[in-house]
Structure 1
Amino acid sequence: MKETKVIVIGCTHAGTAFITTAKKLYGDKVKITSYERNDTVSFLSCGIALHVGGVVKDPQKLFYSSPKILSDLGAEMKMRHEVIDVDTREKKVFVKNLETGETFEDSFDKLVITSGSWPIIPNVPGKELSGILLSKNFYHAQDIVRYSKDAKKIVVVGAGYIGVELAEAFRHNGKEVVLIDIADRILAKYLDKEFTDILERELSEKGIRLVLNERVERFDGENGQVKKVQTNKSEFEADMVVLATGFKPNTELFKGKLNCLENGAIIVDEYLHTSHSDIFAAGDSAAVWYTPTESYEYIPLATNAVRMGTIAAYNLFENKIKYTGTQGTSGVKVFSYNVATSGVNELLAREKGIDYDVIYAVENNKPEFMPEYEPVYVKLLYRKNDTVIIGGQVMSKADVTESANTLSIVIANKMRIQDLAFSDFFFQPYFNKPWNFLNTVALKALEKINLNN
């Protein structure tokens, strides 16, 4: 059997997962060359705030692989090499060695696009000032730690997961922190108001100034260093600014060559082929099939990336394993609260025109006869016409976040409210109640639903 030439563009989570799996499956039958413009692989950017806050002392522990590990598996790791063009018809890539400036071409039988994503940078005056930082890769983490040591006043732009986690880390370090978002709530893409009201109060009580429903319009500086952040309503002093305003796919090379969403995320089929049968895409460069809405969406998560990279390897030569999609399941810790969500929230349900209903409940995580127990805030979204569950959110000072994984499976399998209400969960007073809180909230929803219709 002729050796198959496989080129991998980018090597963070999806690329690492693909290479690891493909070499285990096919060994010397595949010649894998990875072109990565950085000199690291597999960095867990979700750990940046943990490093900044001192929870993870050594940032090297945020890597779970390395170029050497992948080389030892038999892959040719071309670090500090950037793919600058791709000819999908002739199956060629054009590469620049970022160390020497040399350019050359390479050919492939199969191409795997795992080029990831990059932070969205607001196009406002002053964005080039020193002290305005991003939060994505290992080098960003180092910059944030270095700059924040001497900074007293830090502004974080964007109140998604990364922004909220960084604001908390900076506050733990004794900094004055302002958290700005254009939305009128923090974490608005993930959680509904019942949850964000509590979390906003928590952040404010811990000393973080929340500036919501305001848009950053300008950064002002002195001697090239940022000093002020100007919004459409306010002005804030800043020794340092972190931009955490979301991500976009690194797919400019494939515009007009492969089918993509409007934002550039590459559309893949259920076996992760792009519109070119010998080209795969996985991770943050790809659109994902979002099961609650049955539509292609852009949901950059490390969990999606490692699954997709692994599945692409299995399907390299024949279609063996379907990628069944994602529920966008995710979680965050905000000071004393543990939060997790799966599927749609009300904001997205309305955007998608779904005729839905909700049920919200507050239930204790253990029997009240136990010496300690905590309230659990639970919300379910379900379609009115068939009671199929399409979203769920959980929050507590107790760690109940694993229940979001249960909700993910519930949503993936299109279970109904009545199915969840009577699902079989174990009971032990140290852990839960005879009716699990997921049962309880679903039972409460049944009171609203007329099952005779």
Structure 2
Amino acid sequence: MKVIIVGSTHAGTAAAKQILIRHPETDVTVYERHDNISFVSSGIYLYLTGKIKRLEDMFYSSPDDLREMGATVRTQHNVLRIDTAKKTMQVADMQTGRVFEDDYDKLIMTTGSSVAVPPIIGIDQANVLLCKNYQQAQEIYKTAKDHHHIAVIGAGYMGTELAESYAETNHEVSLFQSHGHILNNYIGNELSDRAVQLLRDHGVHVHLNQRVTSFENTEDDRVSIEGPDQEYEVDLAIVCTGFVPNTELLRGQVDMDRHGAIIINDYVQTSNPDIYAAGDSCVVNFNPTGKPAYTPLATNALRQGALAGINVFGDIQPYVGTQATSAMKLFDYTLATSGLTYSAAQRDHLPVRHAIYDGPYRPKYMPNPTELIIDLVYDYETRQILGAQFWSEHDVSQSANTISVMIQNGNTIDDLSYVDMLFQPNFDEPFNYLNLVGQQAVEQERQLGNDEPRITAMGNWGKK
């Protein structure tokens, strides 16, 4: 069987490896527009702060790695057109200009995403840069060294991390966000307010509800940024306004959502049974809502890519979906999240309430019983956990993984209240903080008159 993989992102690399590990006799060809594969863009900010010395270390695989496994890897090759009816594609060698045709039995689309370029006048100015891939990261690093005042447009993960990076390297930083809160796709308003204050405490100028409308070069080679209320002058602007899926090659040939992301089934298969999709080019099955969603995260890409490599030989291993679990380090604080935020659940018109734990992560008699905030979101009709966000100077990132498993399993606040967790004064209270926030939610429901616990299969284990 001949399998062609278009795009060697996280997902494409994972797919190729699974195919060649499980079925080494398979004819695998990988087409990639760049001269590199599997770049970890989430590590760009670590490079800018000097925590990682070499940007090249942010690749977790290489073309030679895949070639040694048996793949034909064609970097700097651009797929121009795909004819799904004939199972053929037109490809251009970007170095020689030669255009040729190739064919496939099965196709895996892992074309990733690009920075969503907003319709801002002057966005093509020399001192306005985009941030996602290896080449863009190199350009940002080189350019920023000679500029002091840097503006970051967009306060998602990438933008917030870049703002932190430049604040730590003695730059003046202005962070512009069109919404009233930063990281609004990941955390609720309360934790967003804390993150904003933390950025401001470290000298970052955070401009909320400021939609940038234009960029203009000034006479002294600076950038003038125009917003709805006033103008700002900076030395360099970096645009981080989210991502859009690269799916033009299959537009009109497979089903897509309103974002242009490819819709997949439980085996990461598209509406065409001979085409699979993974990573930022497609949707995820979002377990908290039970609906497809566009959530471009490296974790999703790796899992979907590996499953595409497995399931291209048949419906072997289903995709269990995702809770979009993620975390970031913001100065000395850990921010972690899994599932829905309270505001996102409200926008989806779900029957939700939330309980907020604000207390020490371990007994107060211990040194440095650091404050921990947990915002637990749950469905008050079914009592199922829908999400949680964490904020602390203590590393609580793994608690988001625990909540992720509980959401995936359909567990309730009653399960969370008494699920077995370790106690040792170095680490937590006699009831772990996850137990405590679960108990808060249960007490909240009891006071509201909803005192009937719903115990899931986990709670019934061992019963006769």
Tell me the distance in 1 between the aligned counterparts of 2:309 and 2:160: 35
Q: Which amino acid aligns with 1:130?
A: A
- Cα displacement (A) at 1:224: 11
Are the aligned partners of 2:153 and 2:239 in contact in 1 as well (CA < 8 Å)? yes
CA separation in 2, counterparts of 1:225 and 1:279? 48
Q: State the match for 2:414 in structure 1.
A: 418
Aligned counterparts of 1:224 and 1:319: Cα–Cα separation in 2: 61
Q: Tell me, in whole angstroms, the C-alpha distance in 2 between the residues paired with 1:343 and 1:156.
A: 27
- Counterpart Cα distance in 2 of 1:348 and 1:275: 29
CA–CA separation in structure 2 for the residues paired with 1:194 and 1:223: 42
1:26 aligns to what?
23
Change (3 A) 1:212 1:111: same
Is residue 134–residue 242 contact of structure 1 (8 Å, CA) maintained in 2? yes
Q: Map of 1:28-427 to 2, 5 A cutoff?
A: 28=25, 30-222=26-218, 227-427=223-423
Give the distance between the partners of 2:245 and 2:426, measured in 1 at CA: 44
Alignment gaps of 5+ in structure 2: 454-464
- How far apart are the structure 1 equivalents of 2:194 and 2:120? 32
1:136-165 residue CA offsets vs partner (Å, 9 max, x unmatched): 111111111101101011000001111010
Contact 1:192 1:347 in 2 (8 A): yes
Give the deviation of 1:363 after TM superposition: 2.2
Distance 1:340 1:224 in 2: 42
Q: Kindly indicate whether residue 20 of structure 2 is the aligned counterpart of residue 16 of structure 1.
A: no
The answer on whether the counterparts of 2:335 and 2:392 sit within 8 Å (CA) in structure 1 is: yes
Q: If the length of structure 1 is used for normalisation, what is the TM-score?
A: 0.97
1:405 is paired with a residue of what secondary structure? helix
State the match for 1:6 in structure 2: 3
Aligned residues of 1:376 and 1:394 also touching (Cα < 8 A): yes
- 1:97 deviation in Å? 1.0
Distance in 1 (alpha carbons) for counterparts of 2:437 and 2:147:
45
1:342–1:393 contact (8 Å) kept in structure 2: yes
User: Quick check: 1:189–1:347 contact (8 Å CA) kept in 2?
Assistant: no
CA contact (8 A) 1:129 1:224 kept: no
Q: Deviations over 1:161-216 (max 9, x none)?
A: 11010001011111111000100011111111221111111110110001010111
Inter-partner Cα distance in structure 2 for 1:254 and 1:238 = 40
Q: What's the secondary structure of 1:228's corresponding residue?
A: strand
Size of the aligned set, in residue pairs, is: 449
Q: What's the CA shift for 1:317?
A: 1.3
CA–CA distance in 2 between the matches of 1:335 and 1:403? 19
Contact 1:130 1:225 in 2 (8 A): no
In structure 2, relative to structure 1, the CA distance for the partners of 1:438 and 1:138 (3 Å cut) is same
Q: What SS class does the counterpart of residue 100 from structure 2 fall into?
A: strand
The amino acid across from 1:179 in the alignment is: L
Q: Do the aligned partners of 1:167 and 1:208 also contact (CA within 8 Å) in 2?
A: yes
Contact 1:129 1:225 in 2 (8 A): no
1:225 CA displacement = 5.2
Contact 1:215 1:231 in 2 (8 A): yes
Give the superposition deviation at 1:345: 0.6
1:313-342 CA distances to partner (integer Å, 9 max, x unpaired)? 111111110001110111111112100000
Q: Distance in 1 between matches of 2:411 and 2:167?
A: 41
CA distance in 2, matches of 1:130, 1:104: 35
Q: Which amino acid aligns with 2:209?
A: N
2:451 is matched with 451
Q: Specify the code of the residue in structure 2 equivalent to 1:357.
A: R
Structure 1 residues 348 and 152, CA gap change in structure 2 (3 angstroms): same
Q: Counterparts of 2:157 and 2:230 in 1: how far apart (Å)?
A: 23
Say whether the 8 Å CA contact 2:88–2:101 is kept in structure 1. Answer: yes
Structure 2 CA distance, aligned partners of 1:225 and 1:98? 33
Structure 1 contact 219–226 (Cα < 8 Å) conserved: no
Which residue does the alignment assign to 2:457? none
Report the secondary structure of 1:216's partner residue.
Answer: coil
Q: What SS class does the counterpart of residue 219 from structure 1 fall into?
A: strand
CA distance in 2, matches of 1:168, 1:75: 40
Q: Could you tell me how far 1:254 is from its partner in structure 2? A: 1.1
CA contact (8 A) 1:130 1:224 kept: no
CA contact (8 A) 1:157 1:242 kept: yes
The 8 Å contact of residues 5 and 32 in structure 1, kept in 2 or not, is answered as yes
Query: Partners of 1:135 and 1:428 in 2: how far apart?
Result: 43
Separation of aligned partners in 1, 2:165 and 2:216: 25
Amino acid at match of 1:65: S
CA distance in 2, matches of 1:452, 1:158: 44
Per the alignment, in what secondary structure is the counterpart of residue 444 of structure 2? Answer: coil
For 1:225 and 1:319, the matched residues in 2 are separated by 57
SS in 2 for 1:130: coil
Q: Which amino acid aligns with 1:430?
A: N
Between the aligned partners of 2:147 and 2:253, the Cα distance in structure 1 is 45
The residue type equivalent to 1:451 in the other structure is D
Q: Tell me the SS of whatever aligns to 2:38.
A: coil
Q: Which moved more, 1:442-451 or 1:209-218?
A: 442-451
Amino acid at match of 2:23: Y
Q: Distance in 2 between matches of 1:410 and 1:271?
A: 22
Amino acid corresponding to residue 325 of structure 2 in structure 1: T
Distance (Å, rounded) in 2 between the aligned partners of 1:219 and 1:371: 50
